Each structure stands twice: as structure tokens, then as C-alpha cells.
A and B are shown apart, each in its own frame.
Chain A
Amino acid sequence: MDLSRVQKEIKEISLDKASGISVRVMGNDLTRLQGTINGPKDTVYEGGVFVVDIEIKGVYPFEPPKMRFKTKIYHPNVSSQNGAICLDILKDQWSPALTIKTALLSLQALLCSPEPNDPQDAVVAKLFLGDHPLFERTARHWTRTYATPGQETEGLTQLLEMGFTREQAQEALDGAAGDLNAAIAALLG
């Protein structure tokens, strides 16, 4: 693998403070990296910090880096189960003239403009097209819950105070797109 290229790429990303992305090395070789993307302004992902697992294979840059969201995210082109990403440049449209940085920036752009007609998560895409307000509420709720560092949503705090377990409370809130009353109703059956 072209280690010197990966090294240069990491250095270049660390020098760029303005783009809202970062990357760090996991472990002691350069095959596993972790990137972060700041949720773009004026989107349902605003305020969130999304962690992306990056795997650099031996033939890089002649094969795309493998990327998946580690942070849960509610987006038509990302699996809500395992974070798998549907983005052409990470698949058949890859070119070695692209870099880890341009790939992360493309992910950021994907957060700005989802493509529900080429979905990774059919359920999310259906909601995106069918009930957009509910999609937005759910996505915002996920952003607050999973992508906002060190912050517990008010709803979760209240449910925990009411004596529900963290797991129960989170599941109910997720099911109700963050709506506290609906979550309570669901929990109380």
C-alpha cells in the first residue's frame, strides 16, 4: 500500500480546520482510521458530530476506502441498522484522484442532499418521500440522541426519572421520533 500517500492525506486534513471534517489514526498502522463529519448547517443533522469508520485496503488508492457511519444516523442513503453507505464514489465511481478528504466531504454533501431514489435504507427513504415532516423530526431526534456528544435529551432524562431503563426509554423515544408524550404512551401501553 502507498503508506506515504495516506500519511500525506492525514496531514493535509489536519491542517484544514475550516471544512468541518477530521480524521485520526486507530491503532498503530494506517489501515484503520476514524473520520468525523460535522452535521451541515440548516439540515436536520446540524449540531451533530458523525463518526465514520474508515478502512484502507492494501491496494489503496486503486480501490476506494471502505467507509461506514459508526454514529447512528437517520438518512435515506445510510443504513439505520449498520451505517452502510450508498454513495457512488465509494463504489464504482471511485477514482484514485479522489482522497479520504474528498470522500468525507462528499459524505457531508450527502447529508445536505439525500437521494431517496437511490436508497440504502428503504424504510427511511419511504418516510422521506411519504411523510417528510415525520422524517425530519426523526432525523433531528437521532442527531440529538446519537450524534451530540455528552448531551442527553430532555425527554430521555425525564423517562429515566420516571423509572424506565435507559434501553426502554431510548427505544420508546426512537419509536416516537423523539416525541416525549407518544413515548410515554407507548411505554405505558
Chain B
Amino acid sequence: MVPGDPDSRARKTAEELKKRGNDCFHKNKVGAAIDLYTEAFTLCPTWCVPLVNRALCNKKLENWDKVVADCETVIRMDATNLKAHFFLGLAHLSKNRPADAVANLNQALKLARKTESSIKEEVWRALARAKYESHSSEASMRAVRRADLLRRLKDLLREDVGRRLKGKDAGLPDIIDNTEALEADNSLLDEIFRSDELRYQGDDIPNWCTCQLTLDCFYEPVCTPSGISYEQNALLEHLSKVGEFDPVTRDPLRKKDLRKNIGLRNAVECYLNDNPWAFYHAM
């Protein structure tokens, strides 16, 4: 019998240790929980659950390097481990590595959606934050480069005019023509650079992207028979707390009438990816 086999003795003992570890964790004895998980993993190194739980403990203690190490080990053993991808993403996010965080959280979201996991919304919010932070650092770098490029281009244009006038015996009309052309070029350049700047910083997201109940970006929109979509959790809360009616049309509405609006969800994600500044509203 191999040690990882659920029927082996080592595995049985490891499961017992893990259970005690969970109890400690719930009693907020995180250090003791870590020791128990470590013992369990040593005993049965092919079973990754204790390692995932140890990562959760270290996440709580904000020992991010340890979270990274454990999660990477788990992912090598089981590439479809949702929590390992999620915790690893959070660790990257905390260590200011948003691009790495995006990769892991994307993976986690895919897994969470496939299994309809209860943490899928949490994963989505973390992914939105990672994408926003990754965009922010890119945007500020780009702003610096953009300003520098604009300055250099304008210098070159001015030098170019100087060269053209120098070659010949320039009269006053020549000078005026060239100065006017230079001004026109400069303002066109400003306009072009401005539009790039706007692409990197927006303010308001379009209404169709947001739920009328949360005023936030859609994450899991559901559609009612009246054709209006709402964020699933908020609408369910409305149905149970306020009443069984469509919040806008006030038509009678039951939970069984709701349908997922996957098209809208995809459109919102597409919009966010094209306008990464808007991830701010999805965090």
C-alpha cells in the first residue's frame, strides 16, 4: 500500500492530525494548527490538503513567502487545486507582483466557476484588484514615457524648422509659414497623446455594466422575465427581504424565473479588459 492511498495507515493518521489542525485553526490557535498540518504532510507527503490548510494559516499570519512555497508545491502535485491558485494569487498581490497574481487568480476563477465554488465571488474581486493594480503600475510608467516622448518629438520638430530656415535666406513670410505649421503640428501631437492618456484613465463606467441594486460592476448577472438583469446575490437578497417582485417593474418575480445572463457577464468582462482602469469598480 502506498502512503497516499486513502486506506493506508499513514493517511488515516494524517487525516486525524489534519482534523485536529482544523480545530486549532477555528479556535484561532494558528501556530498549533501549522504544526499539526506539518506533521500530517510529513507523514503523508502525497496528500496535499494539509499543505493547502497550512497555506491558509500562513495567509492569516501574512507570511506570504511561506504561502507561496506551499501553494507552489500543491500546484505541482495538483494543477487544478482552486485554493492553492487563489492563495498564491493573494500572496503575489500582497508582495506587489500583480501580473503574477493575475495569472493565478485567472486560473482560480476558471476552476471556481467550473465547480460553482462558494468562494468564486471572492476570487473575482481579488482578480479585479490584481488587474487594477497591474494596470495602475503600467499606466504610471506609460505616463512618464508618454510625457518624455512628447517632449522629444516637439524638440525634434522645432529643430527641424530651424534647419529648414537656416539653409536658405529666409524672409519674414517663410518664418511665419513655418511657425504656423509648427504650431499646428504641435497641437495635433497634443491631441493624439491626449487620446492615449484617456484610454489609460477613465472615470465612469457605462450603466449597462452595473447592477441597479449594487451600483457596482456586474459579476454574476441574472435576467428576470422583464428582461432586466441584476447581480445574482443582491437580487436573491431582495427577493427574500423585500418581496417577490422585480425591483424595477414591480412585476411578480420568483427565484425560479431567474436565468443567468452569461452574455452580459462576458460583455462586462470584455469591457473591463479593454478599459482596465474600470476594474476599480469591480474590486
Question: CB-CB contacts of A23-38 with B at 8 A, as 1s and 0s?
Answer: 0000000000000000
A90 to chain B, nearest CB (A): 13
Q: Is B1 an interface residue (CB 8 A)?
A: no
Return the CB mask of B233-268 against A: 1 if under 8 Å, else 0: 010011001100101101000000000000000000
Chain A residues within 8 Å of B234, by CB:
96
Q: Are B242 and A95 in contact, with the CB atoms below 8 A?
A: yes
Nearest A-chain residue to B230, judged by Cβ: A97
Instruction: Flag the segment in B12-20, B22-30, B70-78, B210-218 that touches A.
Output: B210-218
Interface residues of A, dominant DSSP: loop
Tell me which residues across on chain A come within 8 A of B248, comparing CB atoms.
95, 97
Interchain CB contact under 8 A, B241 and A2? no
Q: Do A8 and B241 touch (CB < 8 A)?
A: no
B212 x A94 contact (CB < 8 A): no
* B237/A62 in contact, CB under 8 A: yes
Report the tally of A-B residue pairs with Cβ distances under 8 A: 33
Q: Which of A4, A5, A62, A95 contacts B250 (CB 8 A)?
A: A95
Is residue A18 contacting chain B, with contact meaning CB distance below 8 A?
Answer: no
Give A88-106 interface residues, CB cut-off 8 Å to B.
94-97
Query: In the complex, A85→B89 CA distance in Å?
Result: 51
Closest to A59 in B: B241
Classify the secondary structure of B's interface with A. loop
With A62-B238, A62-B241, A62-B242 as given contacts, are A95 and B214 in contact (CB-CB < 8 Å)?
no
B215 adjacent to A8 (CB under 8 Å): yes
Known contacts A62-B237, A96-B234; is-contact A4 B242 (Cβ 8 Å): no
Residues 50 to 82 of chain A near chain B (Cβ within 8 Å)? 59, 61-63
Q: Chain B nearest CB: distance from A141 CB in Å?
A: 39
Interface size on B, residues (CB 8 A): 14
B242 touching A96 by the CB < 8 A rule?
A: yes
- Determine which of B212, B216, B238, B241 lies in contact with A4 in the assembled complex, contact meaning CB atoms within 8 Å: B216
Cα distance, A95 to B238, chains bound together (Å): 8
Assembly CA distance A95 to B241 (angstroms): 11
Report the nearest B residue to A97, measured CB to CB: B247
Measured in the bound complex, the distance between the Cα atoms of B214 and A155 in whole Å is 50
Q: For residue A8, which residues in chain B have a CB less than 8 angstroms away from its CB?
A: 215-216
Q: With the chains together, A62 CA to B216 CA distance in Å? A: 16
CB distance from A165 to the nearest CB of B (A): 50
Are B215 and A9 closer than 8 Å at their CB atoms? yes
Of the candidates A9, A63, A97, which one forms a contact with B241 in the assembled complex, judged by CB atoms under 8 Å apart?
Answer: A63
Q: Which residues of B contact A62 (CB under 8 A)?
A: 237-238, 241-242
Residue from B215, B234, B237 having most chain A Cβ neighbours under 10 A: B215
Considering the chains assembled together, what is the distance between the CA atoms of A95 and B249 in angstroms?
A: 10
For the complex formed, measure the closest distance between the CB of B151 and the CB atoms of chain A, giving whole angstroms: 34
A54 to B234, CA, bound (A): 23
With a cutoff of 8 Å between Cβ atoms, the chain A residues found around residue B238 in the complex are: 62, 96
Q: A residues within 8 A CB of B247?
A: 95-97
A133 to chain B, nearest CB (A): 38
B250 touches A2 (CB 8 A): no
Q: Which of A9-50 contact B (CB under 8 A)?
A: 9
Q: Which residue on B lies nearest to A64, using beta carbons?
A: B242
Chain B 169-186 per-residue mask, 1 if CB under 8 angstroms from chain A, else 0: 000000000000000000
Residues from chain A with Cβ under 8 Å of B215 in the complex: 4-5, 8-9
- The reply to whether B213 and A97 form a contact with Cβ atoms under 8 Å apart is yes
**Those of B205-231 within 8 Å (CB) of chain A:** 212-216
Q: Please provide the 6 A-B residue pairs with the shortest distance between their CB atoms, ordered closest to farther.
A: A97-B247, A62-B241, A8-B215, A95-B247, A97-B248, A97-B212
- Give the interface of A toward B (CB within 8 A): 2, 4-5, 8-9, 59, 61-63, 94-97
**A-B residue pairs in contact (CB < 8 Å), sample of 9:** A2-B214, A4-B216, A8-B216, A62-B237, A62-B241, A63-B242, A95-B245, A96-B242, A97-B212
